[in-house]
A = this chain, B = another copy of it.
Amino acid sequence: MPEHNAQLETDFRQFVKKIEDYKQALALLAWDSRTGAPKKGMAQRSEVIATLSAEVFALSTSEEMAEYLGQLREEALYATLSEVTRKTVDECHKEFERNVKIPKEEFKEYVLLQSQTETLWEEAKEKADFAMFQPNLEKLVAFKKKFIGYWGYEEHPYNTLLDDYEPGVFVATLDQVFAELRDALIPLVKRVTESAHQPQTDFLFHSFPKEKQKELSLAILEKIGYDFSAGRLDETVHPFAIGINPNDVRITTKYKENDFRVALFGTIHECGHALYEQNISQELIGTPLCDGTSMGIHESQSLFWEKFVGQHVGFWERHYDLLKQYSSEQFSSVSLEDFYFAVNEAKPSLIRIESDELTYCLHIIIRYELEKALMEGSLDVKDLPAAWNEKMEQYIGIRPENDGEGVLQDVHWSFGAFGYFPSYALGYIYAAQVKEALAGELPQFDQLVRSGDFAPIRDWLKTNVHQYGKLKQPAELIRSITGGGIDAKPLINYLTEKYSRLYQLS
């Protein structure tokens, strides 16, 4: 039985840190490419990114890594490792297995197909021509099925795909949780749509100078508690948050002159992501655990701040005057109540990224049901458009007139990202669960938001969510917070209560 081998543990951690340092460099290269990098430099930039990425891949799948994992995963030794090292070993092993099980030639073919299909998708979407996209999508689905075969799966092939984005969450859970959510939302959406009481929204779309919007964004970030000494705000077409490490977490936003909501709520959303990354334990730096634990938990943090704080009525009781101060006269004759109703308008949309919090999850559930059917083989790619349109009508009450605004609208499938979509809805579900647990321990939650006293909320999130990084898997985190499993009820209650009130449903 091997004793604790401190030198081996140190060497392994050093080896892993090198990979993580490369990843930090890659994160900066990505941030720069998406913010202010000069256009002409992009071709060279791609080569630099490719070189470093190849090195990360090579190290992650190297003989050296295999040896470390072989030794450290031996049961008796494994038990002597620190928790951080143990979970680092698990992460590295998972990554290793994923990467070495696919034959190199096949993977190369797949990568080539990905990039070809992404380009093809743009054109197909533009032309609303699914037939043009179909053969490539069929190949991508076939590849994914074959990869699932290499990786293996338990119970359902889709579980293996989920594992990439939401480790420890399975089809059995999603089926149950999504069905419950779907069945509650469909009638609620219908009643909201048919309500006679609808918001007036014209005042939202007046001109709000970009410079002023920027000042407002910075002011709000300051109030929420984004740490500017560990981050910065820039402007991009597609806003994002990126954590290079917990001490350097950058966000971007987009300013739309005639719709201030884009920058304001977008900034709060990215700030939610950033607060997560800024508050991961410093102890995890230099390990793959220094990251959000899943796409869904990450999204829950951005949605928590955007929806449960930024669209909270108390938030606007406090900040409506601030908004008026930065804007011109556009809100001078708008009551707080009318303003609040307007920014919480719910209206069925064909397009996922334009949809509101009430319908958003239905868009996701449609995609989940279709992806799962594709992977289990109960749906053919050629039948996707019809199935899509059917579900849209059934769940959201509107039907696309063409595939451009239907099945072709999202980029994800064009690069083979099956299993990704559920995380978006899980983000909402987790956020509502987190909010409920938090409000249980901080019963003055509404008052805190109303008084702009966000520190106790941030502290609670740091203690219960952020600090752990990947030390806890999503379901484990939810259980430690709520004492139970993944559950749609808090979200259903929140949406039902909020939209019944706003739309005066009886």
Most buried by B among A38, A39, A47, A245: A38
CB distance B36 to A48 under 8 Å? no
How many copies of the polypeptide does the oligomer hold? 2
Report A251 CB to chain B, min CB distance, Å: 11
Please tell me the number of chain A residues within 8 Å of chain B, measured between CB atoms.
34
Q: Chain B residues with Cβ under 8 A from A28's Cβ?
A: 28-29, 32
CB distance B285 to A248 under 8 Å? no
Q: How far is the CA of A51 from the CA of B51 in the complex (A)?
A: 15
Q: How far is the CA of A43 from the CA of B282 in the complex (A)?
A: 12
CB distance A45 to B248 under 8 Å? yes
Kindly list 9 other residue pairs between chains A and B, CB separation below 8 angstroms, not including A36-B232, A41-B230. A21-B48, A22-B52, A24-B44, A25-B52, A28-B29, A38-B232, A38-B247, A38-B248, A41-B247
Q: Does A333 contact B (CB under 8 A)?
A: no
Closest 8 CB pairs of A and B: A41-B248, A21-B51, A40-B247, A40-B230, A41-B247, A21-B48, A44-B245, A24-B48
Encode A34-65 as 1/0 by CB contact (under 8 A) with B.
00111111011101100110000000000000
Q: Chain B residues with Cβ under 8 A from A37's Cβ?
A: 248
CB distance B40 to A227 under 8 Å? yes
CB distance B247 to A44 under 8 Å? yes
Q: Chain B residues with Cβ under 8 A from A45's Cβ?
A: 248
Q: Mostly helix, strand, loop or mixed at chain A's interface?
A: helix
Q: Chain B residues with Cβ under 8 A from A250's Cβ?
A: 38
Q: Chain B residues with Cβ under 8 A from A24's Cβ?
A: 44, 48
Q: Chain B residues with Cβ under 8 A from A32's Cβ?
A: 28, 32
Q: Does A244 contact B (CB under 8 A)?
A: yes
Q: How far is the CA of A311 from the CA of B248 in the complex (A)?
A: 42
Report A391 CB to chain B, min CB distance, Å: 44
Contact of A248 among B44, B51, B52, B244 (CB under 8 A): B44
Encode A12-33 as 1/0 by CB contact (under 8 A) with B.
0000011001101100110010
Question: Can you give 26 A-B contacts (C-beta < 8 A)?
Answer: A17-B51, A18-B51, A21-B47, A21-B51, A21-B52, A24-B48, A25-B25, A25-B52, A28-B29, A32-B32, A36-B232, A37-B248, A38-B229, A38-B247, A38-B248, A38-B250, A39-B230, A40-B229, A40-B230, A40-B248, A41-B244, A41-B247, A41-B248, A44-B245, A44-B285, A45-B248
Q: Does A400 contact B (CB under 8 A)?
A: no
Q: Chain B residues with Cβ under 8 A from A47's Cβ?
A: 21
Q: How far is the CA of A41 from the CA of B39 in the complex (A)?
A: 27
Q: Chain B residues with Cβ under 8 A from A153's Cβ?
A: none
Q: Chain B residues with Cβ under 8 A from A227's Cβ?
A: 40
Q: How far is the CA of A29 from the CA of B30 in the complex (A)?
A: 12
CB distance A22 to B51 under 8 Å? yes
Report A438 CB to chain B, min CB distance, Å: 26
Among residues 198 to 250 in chain A, which have CB atoms less than 8 Å away from a CB atom of chain B? 227-232, 244-245, 247-248, 250
